[in-house]
A and B are shown apart, each in its own frame.
Chain A
Amino acid sequence: MAEAHAVAHEAPKGFIRKYIFSLDHKVIGIQYILLALAAVFVGMFLSLLMRLHLVWPNAKLPFFDVMTPEQYLALMTMHGTIMVFFVLTTAPQSGFGNYFLPIQIGAADMAFPTLNMLSFWFTFVSFAVMMAAFFVVGGAPISGWTAYPPLSAVGEIAGPGLGWGQSLWVISIAIFCGASLMGALNFITTTLDLRTKGMSLMRMPLTCWAWFVTAILALLGFAVLLAAGILLLLDRHAGTSFFVPGGLVITEKLIPHKGGSPLLWQHLFWFFGHPEVYIAILPGMGITSHILSTFARKPIFGYRAMVYAIFAIALLGLSVWGHHMFTSGMSPYSAFAFSLLTMSIGVPSAIKTFNWIGTLWGGQIRFTTPMLFAIGFVSLFVSGGLSGIFLAQPAVDLPLHDTYFVVGHFHLIMGVAAIFGMFGATYYWFSKMFGRQMSEFLGKLHFWPTFIGVYCIFMPMHFIGLAGHERRYPDTTAVQYLAALQPVHLFMTIAAIVTIAAQFIFVFNFFWSLWRGKKAEVNPWEATTLEWTVPSPPPHDNFAGRYPAVYRGPYEYGVPGAAKDFTPQHVPDGAGGAGSH
């Protein structure tokens, strides 16, 4: 294995070794980002179809003619699955983390390059298997991204897509678990063991902290999901009864399973599922902190508090899964405990928000595109987080459970906020990754309709949820009390169309800048961390065999007495640096 590593750090020759089965963390990072970009467009297209169907239920849509309720549920299932696994888990952590973690800590590559390559290709295969579910008999599964049994366990008798489609879904998720476990192991080992000289843990950029803690959550959570997935697969194909209760009659046929517990799946699933929310959002928090400090030209406010808050969120995040199950008939005492723990996540979340605002306070703010998205992230995090406090109360959750209120809540905080983190990261690091700057003008043109648009889509959902609008209804025309809410649906659909249209500005900017963008300098943002000391794009082993020593923390902006308003981490005291302070 040692020999393999030595070879791994020679620049590879040939297209396949260089770009397809690459061992270079930077290439693998871009592979992940491109995979997520493909996935996000599939997921977004599915959501567009759903929104169109909600407003014009009898319209003929591409691929569907007139959509059936089951097809709507299949779209919903696949939208959620693709977005959660292949976008929110893939891009912020595996994509940007892979590319920038080693550079930011001064390493040549990840600790296990071969494992890194495997983890990408497992993810790729997993995505292919998931997509295949659209094309098998019965189509994609209809059991939601949470795949609750018995619906997900009894087979096609319960509906289309629950035969082959559901099996492919479970297999794809199991493969994804394997990929994530390999990735997580690599991230943690790299962070612990490959930091360059002087890069103590408390000098790491907050991005690295976020990736590190996210990897810990993934390492623990995906192992549990894998176990649950195996049991579900056995229920489906080996006739076991882990999750399927006895006496179940579907379309006048008695299901042979007996004695299983659907709640057992819910516990196992959400033990993974809730940390998964933080797997999606923590990297965005890290990136936001990083960007805010850079463009406020101030050190991050309360660096240590930020690190501890990340750990607190992760630790609490592992013990609150029951708040997804308040309506499952759990003991009120358990519900109380889960509720209390859930609300206590508000404390580290508030610390982070306070510190972000403290970072901006009195700063010499540069409103670049990445900065706009970082500020947008804070806004979405607050808006989405506040409704979380509502839902954390069992008494309030009972009527709101499975309404659009929940849909609005988790889209703002988990979906859109994390996406804003990714946009911020893309605009911030594009020049480092591809050697050219993205257009600032187009970036701002992308930001404003996106920012306003997502609020127009997801804020009204809170209101129709409060009005009692259940989620997952494919067609509301026959439901009398929902008729009054139909204009709100129309408004949200129009907002969705506009917001989706605005994303093509981003795609155009991305590909146009790739070839036509302004040539990037090494450090266009005047930033302090190590990725801004290497060429754009960095050479194969990042530092070409010469590794920087680190002399200071990651966010020394505007330090009084320093020669410039930023002091990079590799600059020693007395060499144009800040001196002791």
Chain B
Amino acid sequence: MTGKAATQELEALDVGGTGAGTEWPWAPGGPDGSAVPQRVYVTGIFLALASILMFFTALTSAYLVRQGISTDWVPIELPAILWANTAVLLGSSATIERARRLLAQGRPEGFRRWWGLTTALGLLFLAGQFVAWTELRAAGVYVATNPSSSFFYVLTGAHGLHLLGGVAALLYLARRDESREHRAGLQTAAAAASVYWHFLGVIWVCVFLLLNLRG
């Protein structure tokens, strides 16, 4: 059905009962050019976090159960670089927060600088994780060596993949148009990305605590 015919048919149907259908508050061509309200991105990201939290909770409970029942669990020696990686990731949470605030204050140049720094720190973290895996491999600790090493690779790998997704999001947003008419959209997207980024920092701290305290 063409849009015009549909409109005529709807008028004939008298939707709204008064002869005048209500304008949708977020109809296409709204003030920020968006077809949906900006809050869907915030809702969406929090729902994604709930799901990711369930995913890591499942792995953590598997970790505790598998460790609790086993007689073959041999703790692995965690590579020291993980401490440095942790510091880098926590630092990146601070830089992304700075970037987000600069954008909200209408300072896109500062936003770009801090946003880029965050991306670099994210990549540095991933490189650090890669170094940790290489060290373990050199020490003969593979994924199937022991349940402790299996879980180490699964947890760090799953977290790393999520963070890689975060880096991709940061790079995507860095290329977004931050001119005035699109700024509201970019602000929401940056806020959603930084919520995700902080969350991955928290997940990492939990994973790292688990590996240290219950290794």
Contacts and interface: CB of A to CB of B under 8 A. Distances in A.
B43 A240 contact: no
Contact of A539 (B6, B147, B189): B6
Interface string A1-13: 1110110110100
B15 A533 contact: yes
Contact of A223 (B7, B40, B55, B66): B55
Contacts of A240: 143-144, 147, 150
A489 B206 CA distance: 55
Contacts of B79: none
Interface residues of A, number: 71
Interface stretch (A127-135, A181-189, A337-345, A415-423): A181-189
B189 A1 contact: yes
B123 to A, nearest CB: 23
B205 interface: no
Interface in B1-57: 1-3, 6-7, 9-10, 13, 15-18, 21-25, 27-29, 32-37, 39-41, 43-44, 47-48, 50-52, 54-57
B80 interface: no
A548 B48 CA distance: 31
B105 interface: no
B69 interface: yes
Interface in A282-301: none
Contacts of A108: 24, 27-28, 35
B122 interface: no
Contacts of B180: none
B69 A234 contact: no
Nearest to A215: B47
B143 A547 contact: no
A544 to B, nearest CB: 4
Contact of A533 (B13, B66, B158): B13
Contacts of B66: 242, 259-261, 264
A9 B34 CA distance: 10
Interface in A177-216: 181, 184-185, 188-190, 192-194, 196-197
A522 interface: yes
Given A261-B65, A576-B17, A6 B29 contact: yes
Interface string A242-286: 100010000000000011110010011001000000000000000
A264 to B, nearest CB: 5
Given A535-B10, A545-B7, A223 B25 contact: no
Contacts of B143: 234, 238-240
Given A9-B35, A111-B36, A267 B185 contact: no
Decide if the interface of chain B is mainly helix, strand, loop or mixed: helix
A226 B32 CA distance: 37
A264 B33 CA distance: 50
Contacts, number: 200
A546 B15 contact: yes
A572 B35 contact: no
Contact of A227 (B55, B72, B189): B55
A268 B70 CA distance: 18
Interface string A515-544: 000000010000000000111011111011
Interface in B109-161: 143-144, 147, 150, 154, 158
Nearest to B22: A549
A112 interface: yes
A405 B116 CA distance: 62
B7 A544 contact: yes
A214 to B, nearest CB: 14
Contact of A193 (B13, B37, B52, B62): B37
Contacts of A268: 58, 61-62
A9 B22 contact: no
Nearest to A220: B54
A37 B13 CA distance: 33
Contacts of A230: 154, 158
Q: Which of A11, A111, A234, A544 has the most CB of B within 10 A?
A: A544
Q: What 5 A-B pairs come out closest when comparing CB atoms?
A: A546-B21, A539-B6, A239-B144, A223-B54, A5-B35
Interface of A: 1-3, 5-6, 8-9, 11, 108-109, 111-112, 181, 184-185, 188-190, 192-194, 196-197, 219-220, 222-224, 226-228, 230-231, 234, 238-242, 246, 258-261, 264, 267-268, 271, 522, 533-535, 537-541, 543-549, 568, 570-572, 575-577
5 contacts: A223-B51, A241-B147, A242-B147, A535-B13, A541-B28
Given A219-B54, A268-B61, 12 more contacts: A5-B28, A11-B2, A185-B51, A189-B40, A189-B47, A193-B37, A220-B51, A261-B65, A534-B13, A543-B21, A545-B24, A546-B23
